[in-house]
Amino acid sequence: MKIGGWVILLLVSATHAGAVDLCLPTANDALLRGRDADFYQPTVEGTVESGSFGCVRRGGRRFHEGIDIKCLQRDARGESIDPVHAVGEGTVAFINSKPGLSNYGRYVVLEHVWDGVEVFTLYAHLRDVAGGLAVGQSVQKGQVLGRVGRSTNTKEGITPDRAHLHFEINLMLNPNFRAWYAKRDPKAPPFGNFNGRNLVGLDPAAFLRAYAANRKLNFAEYVARQPVAFTVLVGARPLRWVERHPEQLRGNQAAPVAYEVAVTGWGMPVAVWPRSAEEIGAAAQRQLQRGQPVLQRVDGAVAESTACRQLLERAGSGWRLSVSGREWVELLTYR
Ligand SMILES: [Zn+2]
């Protein structure tokens, strides 16, 4: 009996030590077979690329923070019926069941923990949400969340032939977003922390392909490898981000005067270094004391390729934080 108990214990710990277990959000697996044209649902612009993640719309000027996955099955009226699946086990974090409130229409957000990292997956434009699905409920990998659809509140709408799943993989910038945003926009829809501004994404297609090629892929390491567009110095008040993402803390400066945060061009922090007064210098310290963040380093090529996200803007031969970039810092550092 005791031996049997040990075996079970070892199996359980082996499962926990193992990799994250994921599936695709719909039955459309053309992405993994190199057939992008069968996978991405183009916008009315018509290019395959317009359904992918990044600066892919309006000639590269407009950001698309997710991927649009083509539906495979339709009913007699031509409406999509593909089931939408939870990509991994998790908890229902948010449901918007009133399509008129959002350009995402009906959408569901799940919270997961992948290799110790709190991650949110988002499933938008749903035709319907699975009966009984409720916030706080646990879901299993592959569980049906609803059906692919075309719900949205935009004037132009989504025609039946363009029904698709808009899918995102995000980290949450600030768990106190609700309080920060309520002051700025008291009439904002009741989305709490699940407002697009508070969710910072990476390319789900690139991640799903990397994961399919290596199912032992460590998500924390994957995030750490994302290209950095810039680093920014912020005052060393305790950062909620560091509290929630200790895996990103580099070095162990005992009494930092600042944090240097490395950020992707899409607005996702990927590493944080505590910095001493000597490391940042007097000018940067003065700027921080005036409550202004310091743009420390910029990778011009990455900044250029992610310019549609508009966190940085050109200033002479260099770059500076834009209005929305400074707002991003404000949200990151809000207590
Ligand atoms: Zn989309």
* pLDDT surpasses 70 at 205: yes
Q: What is the mean pLDDT of the chain?
A: 93
| Residues within 5 Å of ion ligand 1, judged at the Cβ atom | 66, 68, 166
Give 143 Cα–ligand 1 centroid separation in angstroms: 22
* pLDDT surpasses 50 at 15: no
Give 199 Cα–ligand 1 centroid separation in angstroms: 15
Task: Identify the pLDDT of residue 187.
Answer: 83
Task: Identify the pLDDT of residue 5.
Answer: 42
Residue 4 — pLDDT band, cuts 50, 70, 90? very low
* pLDDT surpasses 70 at 78: yes
Residue 2 — pLDDT band, cuts 50, 70, 90? very low
pLDDT tens string 130-160: 999 999 999 999 999 999 999 999 999 999 9
pLDDT tens string 208-266: 999 999 999 999 999 999 999 999 999 988 899 999 999 999 987 778 999 999 999 99
pLDDT tens string 270-324: 999 999 999 999 999 999 999 999 999 999 999 999 999 999 999 999 999 999 9
Give 225 Cα–ligand 1 centroid separation in angstroms: 25
Residue 18 — pLDDT band, cuts 50, 70, 90? low
Residue 7 — pLDDT band, cuts 50, 70, 90? very low
* pLDDT surpasses 50 at 104: yes
Residue 45 — pLDDT band, cuts 50, 70, 90? confident
CA-closest candidate to residue 165, choices 93, 90, 87: 87
Task: Identify the pLDDT of residue 237.
Answer: 84
> What share of the chain in percent tops pLDDT 90?
87
What is the topology classification, in CATH, of domain 13-213?
Glucose Permease (Domain IIA) (2.70.70)
Say whether pTM exceeds 0.85: yes
Alpha carbon distance 146, 127 (integer Å): 7
Give 16 Cα–ligand 1 centroid separation in angstroms: 33
Task: Identify the pLDDT of residue 16.
Answer: 46
Mean pLDDT score, 107-123: 98
The boundaries of every CATH 2.70.70.10 domain in the chain are: 13-213
CA distances to 5, 46, 141, 166, 230 from 267, in Å: 47, 27, 28, 19, 10
Task: Identify the pLDDT of residue 11.
Answer: 39
For every residue of 143-194, DSSP letters joined together read -EEEE-B-----SS---GGG-EEEEEEEEES-TTHHHHHHHH-TT--S-TT-
CA-closest candidate to residue 207, choices 221, 196, 195, 193: 221
* pLDDT surpasses 60 at 6: no
Residues 6+ apart with CB under 8 A from 147: 80, 81, 82, 83, 84, 126, 127, 128
Under DSSP, is residue 122 helix (H, G, I), strand (E, B) or coil?
strand
Give 239 Cα–ligand 1 centroid separation in angstroms: 31
> What share of the chain in percent tops pLDDT 70?
95
Give 75 Cα–ligand 1 centroid separation in angstroms: 22
Task: Identify the pLDDT of residue 12.
Answer: 39
Give 67 Cα–ligand 1 centroid separation in angstroms: 5
* pLDDT surpasses 50 at 325: yes
CA-closest candidate to residue 264, choices 328, 168, 179: 328
Give 158 Cα–ligand 1 centroid separation in angstroms: 11
Task: Identify the pLDDT of residue 1.
Answer: 37
